[in-house]
Structure 1
Amino acid sequence: MPDDIHSFIDKKRTLLGATATFVYLVAVSLIILVVWSVWQTRVQTIAESKSTTTNMARALAQHAQDAIRSADNLLVGMAELVEEQRHLHDAGAQNLHAYLRARIENQAMLAGLSVYDAQGTLVATSRPAPVRHVTITDRPYFQYHREVAERGPHVGAPIQSRVTNEWVVPVTRRLTDAQGRFAGLVLASVHVAYFGDYYAEFDIGQAGTIFLTTDDGTLLVRRAQEEVGVGTDISHGPVFNEYRHRGPVGTAMLTSRLDNTERLYSYRHLDTYPLLVAVALSKEDILSTWTAQTYHLTSITAFLLLLLGIIGFRLIFQINARDAAEYELLLAKEQLEKLNADLENLASIDGLTGLPNRRKFDAALALEFSRAARNASSIALIMIDVDRFKQFNDLYGHPEGDACLRQIGRVLLEQGAGRAADLPARYGGEEMVVLLPDTDLAGALAVAEKIRLAIRGLGIPHSAVPSGVVTVSAGVAACIPTGTHTAAQLLKAADEALYAAKAAGRDRVCCSAAETLSS
């Protein structure tokens, strides 16, 4: 006996240890899995955002490239024309004015085209009326071309036009005389608003940004929640630091010096012009969905861990309690057998209507159908559906719907179970069935009609049906089973008859004769 007790204690300790270890491993595995999943989702979210900003930066750079190229192409033609004529005043200026007017048509991005001589005096412009007494000797782009012999395009810092007062980006080319000396310049003024309107089409979230700058860090255009003035120097900002150290194309998570917002930036330098474009999505916007999902997943995980702890504790408690309760099992055996019988009976009854449930009905149908086949006797089935019951629930509420089904269930118990073998049952939802062994089609139709009238006679208000009270539709099928008939076919025939009753207007009984059952 002591040896048995010792063995029992050792076995109990082993079982308790194994249970505790299992609970612990499950908890740790769950935590590791959740952390790994959350981290992978974060990495994937940022990777997708990097792809998005990179593609946007590529599109924005291409747009700026095309805009400046279009303006520069016009400047090339203007420069060739002026240098060929070599006379910028009087009649030549009039012809040049007409030429510029023709070139600027359909160029929505341009504010104007102009030609200036070596003294910075306006010679010709694309504006409808000539503009006099305009000089640009103080403009940085004029001073650049006067000092630098470079003949390529020059993109200057944004300025306010002295003619229209709007912000423009000057794109210029140097003019030379026959001796190669500075002879003036040709100017294409690009609307700053042209870029701003294009950038407004992009979805960059609540705190994203798009900007276009010159190579020296002068801000041309910036779209952001917090406005920054055109011409602001951002050459010491994080994007330019990244550009100087990592090359013309890049993506990085940086904090803006303008508004202290952390963003994922993708920048790209234009291939042929001294401009840099950048697009950024704020880290908060990028991770907003991920953060919400993480909170949700963390809450679920915490709940599961709590549930696991409770289950583990209860399991250990049950192991201890089991040993103390083993001797009571034999005494409780008789009570359990009785309880099992009661539970078996409860398992076959629908809790709402008090009718036998679907499980009970399926078993009875199989049994009675086999008996009818052996005895060559008729078996009938009534399938009943409450008319427009969904609207009833919508109008009066589910508690009233449940009360309605309970009353209908009582009618079926009173009217549909005239014999011991008859079985009314709840088939599902608002559908009821009545199984009638040893009953032909005429007898089943009579029972169905009696049930229909009894339910109508309850007078349960239902404003969604023409009668104003709750009604039912019923489908009846009967057959003498042969080798070609099955219980499923009988059930299908009753169901088809029920649908026929609904299609015919509801609140009626339709039947399906035995010959409608196919083999």
Structure 2
Amino acid sequence: MPTRFSHPDHPPGVALKRIPLRKAAVLFIATVCLCLCGLLYLQLEQSRRHDLSLAQVASSNLTRAMAQQAEDTFMKADLVLTSLVDWIQADGFGPAQRPRLQQTFARRVLALDQLHGILLFDQKGQWVVTSFENLPRGAGVADREYFKYHQQNVSSVAHIGPAIRSRENGEWIIPVSKRINDRNGHFQGVLLAGIKMSYFDQFFKSFNLDDSGSMFLGLTDGTLLARRPFVEAQIGASLSQNEIFQKFLPLTTSGNAMFTSIIDGVTRLYGYRQLEAYPLVVAAASSTESILAGWYDTAFRSSLIVALVLLGVGLFGWVFIHQVRVGERVESDLRRAQEALELIATHDSLTGLANRRLFERALDIEFGRGARQASPLSLIMLDIDYFKRYNDTYGHVVGDHCLAEVARALKSCCHRKADLAVRYGGEEFAVLLPDTDLHGAMTIAEQIRRSVIDKNISHTGSPNGYVTVSLGCYSFVPSGRDSMDVFVERADAALYQAKHSGRNRVATLSMAGGAEALMRSDR
């Protein structure tokens, strides 16, 4: 019968808790792995941001140098044009002045490496004077963008137009031009200085860029003037949809941005800067692949090391958890064996009832509890009537069966978990009833007596012809100084009285007026 008196070293009602070692091990290993992965991610992310930050600084410095070089290049050409325009507007460019102008143009071109040539056109776009020895032949330049611009604009500011091929020798040039007026301010022609695109190409090549890097010079409207790497088909292409022109230049004239090029589809980190003196934009970019090449190598090696560590932790964890599982199985087997031994040690193997060892342990606990709570404690002692005759008549095997049937009847009447049914010895049984007074004990005792009779176990050695039991009840309130032996003896005395009075009955022993009073029940 289940009972709360299951462990001698723990008070009743206290459940034994064990640490779920396997779950804790899994959680610990998972936490270690997550921490390692988290630390790796943080370290790699910090390293990546550091590399990108260094690349941004380098890109900003590079675009600053490019902007300075471009501004110096165009400013020198602008100054040459300005001085020549002032001279031409003052002295004209008639046949008498042309030889001197040609010599001056040629000297200025020799003085500036970036200049392809200086050319003067009249109001119809025809060549008048050039820095070359021979005038080019052809239809003139009236169809050129820069010529149309000066025809329609009276501004004396230098105009930088889209890159063109020189009609003198086919070389790519960037035209810087100024309008020439007569004394009345009417349009008289255009003075042009052609800047070699190869000059910027050589300048771009002086910087150490990766194979996928790029540099470009463009107008603020997005027209591409020069680019590294040089692709002739891209010269004059529009970059107006480029993110630099769409998103960033409207907000700030210089900065850094990472995006994918619309020209070749390569993702790069760009540094860009708009010139202050001229409508030009320079940009330099390194591919993210080259910027992060060292980071990728570090990330691979770090990830490999962490992966090996995780593998080691995982293998160790697997072995450890496997051992924990084996240990748990062994512990479970030992626990079951211990429970079996405990059951054997505290219960009768024939009837399944508690034995005297458990009965004495329960008495000790209930005496203390009853004394603390001032609650009554009752004991029923019962004995099978004429059991020796039963054994002699039917044999010990059938006698054991009879004992088991009586035990089942006993257990069926013990409805509370705290009630303890005991095989006290031989054919004698006991029922310990905590928090039960004498009246309650008598009621249960009568239920037991009737339950045994209802089983109708044949017994020819009994006057009744069937198995009956005699029961003795005793109840008292423990005070803390009581003797368990006396308690059992008094219940046993009540049982003796029931047997002496004719058996198959319930007798009680109580204290009244300082003397024991006997009450019988034979229903």
Over residues 80-121 of structure 1, what are the superposed CA-to-partner deviations in whole Å (9 max), with x where a residue is unaligned? 1111212x1212111111111221223111110122222222
Q: Any idea what SS the aligned residue of 1:267 has?
A: strand
Please report how far the alpha carbon of residue 75 of structure 1 lies from its aligned counterpart in structure 2 after TM superposition: 0.4
Q: For 1:192 and 1:49, how far apart are their aligned partners in 2?
A: 27
Q: For 1:124 and 1:210, how far apart are their aligned partners in 2?
A: 35
Q: For 1:44 and 1:194, how far apart are their aligned partners in 2?
A: 35
Q: 1:258 corresponds to which residue? A: 263
Q: For 2:76 and 2:105, how far apart are their aligned partners in 1?
A: 14
Amino acid at match of 1:170: P
Please report how far the alpha carbon of residue 131 of structure 1 lies from its aligned counterpart in structure 2 after TM superposition: 3.9
Q: Any idea what SS the aligned residue of 1:170 has?
A: strand
Q: For 2:289 and 2:9, how far apart are their aligned partners in 1?
A: 65
Q: Any idea what SS the aligned residue of 1:195 has?
A: helix
Deviates more, 1:126-135 or 1:210-219: 126-135
Aligned residue among 148, 152, 157 for 1:147: 152
Q: For 1:224 and 1:10, how far apart are their aligned partners in 2?
A: 78
Distance 1:310 1:150, change over 3 A: same
Q: For 1:31 and 1:225, how far apart are their aligned partners in 2?
A: 44
Alignment of 1:202-241 (within 5 A): 202-224=207-229, 228-241=233-246
1:170 equivalent in alignment to 2:175: yes
Aligned residue among 188, 197, 201 for 1:192: 197
Q: For 1:3 and 1:188, how far apart are their aligned partners in 2?
A: 109
Alignment of 1:357-396 (within 5 A): none
Q: 1:34 corresponds to which residue? A: 40
Q: Any idea what SS the aligned residue of 1:245 has?
A: coil
Q: Any idea what SS the aligned residue of 1:265 has?
A: strand
1:108 equivalent in alignment to 2:104: no
Please report how far the alpha carbon of residue 79 of structure 1 lies from its aligned counterpart in structure 2 after TM superposition: 0.6
Q: 1:290 corresponds to which residue? A: 295
Distance 1:10 1:205, change over 3 A: farther
Q: For 2:243 and 2:90, how far apart are their aligned partners in 1?
A: 47
Q: 1:351 corresponds to which residue? A: none
1:136 equivalent in alignment to 2:137: no
Over residues 254-297 of structure 1, what are the superposed CA-to-partner deviations in whole Å (9 max), with x where a residue is unaligned? 12222222221221111111111111112222223222322222
Q: For 1:27 and 1:216, how far apart are their aligned partners in 2?
A: 54
Please report how far the alpha carbon of residue 10 of structure 1 lies from its aligned counterpart in structure 2 after TM superposition: 7.7
Distance 1:137 1:201, change over 3 A: same
Q: 1:374 corresponds to which residue? A: none
Greater relative contact order: 1 or 2 (C-alpha under 8 angstroms, separation 6 or more)? 2
Please report how far the alpha carbon of residue 222 of structure 1 lies from its aligned counterpart in structure 2 after TM superposition: 1.4
Please report how far the alpha carbon of residue 63 of structure 1 lies from its aligned counterpart in structure 2 after TM superposition: 1.1
Over residues 453-475 of structure 1, what are the superposed CA-to-partner deviations in whole Å (9 max), with x where a residue is unaligned? xxxxxxxxxxxxxxxxxxxxxxx
Deviates more, 1:142-151 or 1:251-260: 251-260
Q: 1:160 corresponds to which residue? A: 165
Please report how far the alpha carbon of residue 44 of structure 1 lies from its aligned counterpart in structure 2 after TM superposition: 1.5
Q: TM-score, normalised by structure 1?
A: 0.57
Contact 1:122 1:134 in 2 (8 A): no
Please report how far the alpha carbon of residue 314 of structure 1 lies from its aligned counterpart in structure 2 after TM superposition: 4.3
Contact 1:207 1:225 in 2 (8 A): no
Distance 1:144 1:169, change over 3 A: same
Q: 2:284 corresponds to which residue? A: 279
Q: 1:470 corresponds to which residue? A: none
Alignment of 1:47-126 (within 5 A): 47-86=53-92, 88-126=93-131
Runs of 5+ unmatched residues, structure 2: 1-5, 331-523
Distance 1:308 1:12, change over 3 A: farther
Alignment of 1:370-449 (within 5 A): none
1:310 equivalent in alignment to 2:315: yes
Q: For 2:33 and 2:249, how far apart are their aligned partners in 1?
A: 49
Deviates more, 1:107-116 or 1:287-296: 287-296
Please report how far the alpha carbon of residue 17 of structure 1 lies from its aligned counterpart in structure 2 after TM superposition: 6.8
Q: Any idea what SS the aligned residue of 1:311 has?
A: helix
Contact 2:127 2:135 in 1 (8 A): no
Aligned residue among 34, 46, 49 for 1:43: 49
Q: For 2:311 and 2:102, how far apart are their aligned partners in 1?
A: 82
Contact 1:222 1:228 in 2 (8 A): no
Amino acid at match of 1:49: A
Q: For 1:262 and 1:320, how far apart are their aligned partners in 2?
A: 52
Deviates more, 1:23-32 or 1:51-60: 23-32
Contact 1:267 1:276 in 2 (8 A): yes
Please report how far the alpha carbon of residue 228 of structure 1 lies from its aligned counterpart in structure 2 after TM superposition: 4.2
Aligned residue among 294, 299, 311 for 2:304: 299
Please report how far the alpha carbon of residue 150 of structure 1 lies from its aligned counterpart in structure 2 after TM superposition: 0.5
Q: CA RMSD in A?
A: 3.0
Q: For 1:229 and 1:108, how far apart are their aligned partners in 2?
A: 25
Amino acid at match of 1:82: I
Q: For 1:317 and 1:2, how far apart are their aligned partners in 2?
A: 30
Amino acid at match of 1:120: G
Contact 1:215 1:274 in 2 (8 A): yes
Q: For 1:170 and 1:251, how far apart are their aligned partners in 2?
A: 29
Deviates more, 1:191-200 or 1:126-135: 126-135
1:269 equivalent in alignment to 2:281: no
Q: For 2:269 and 2:241, how far apart are their aligned partners in 1?
A: 18
Q: For 1:225 and 1:123, how far apart are their aligned partners in 2?
A: 33
Q: Any idea what SS the aligned residue of 2:94 has?
A: coil
Q: For 1:320 and 1:292, how far apart are their aligned partners in 2?
A: 41
Q: Any idea what SS the aligned residue of 2:217 has?
A: strand
Q: 1:348 corresponds to which residue? A: none
Amino acid at match of 1:306: L
Q: 1:452 corresponds to which residue? A: none
Please report how far the alpha carbon of residue 322 of structure 1 lies from its aligned counterpart in structure 2 after TM superposition: 9.8
Deviates more, 1:23-32 or 1:275-284: 23-32
Q: Any idea what SS the aligned residue of 1:91 has?
A: coil
Amino acid at match of 1:80: D
Contact 2:162 2:175 in 1 (8 A): yes
Please report how far the alpha carbon of residue 196 of structure 1 lies from its aligned counterpart in structure 2 after TM superposition: 1.0
Q: Any idea what SS the aligned residue of 1:202 has?
A: coil
The structure that is helix-richer by fraction is 1
Q: For 1:260 and 1:320, how far apart are their aligned partners in 2?
A: 56
Q: Which has the larger radius of gyration?
A: 2
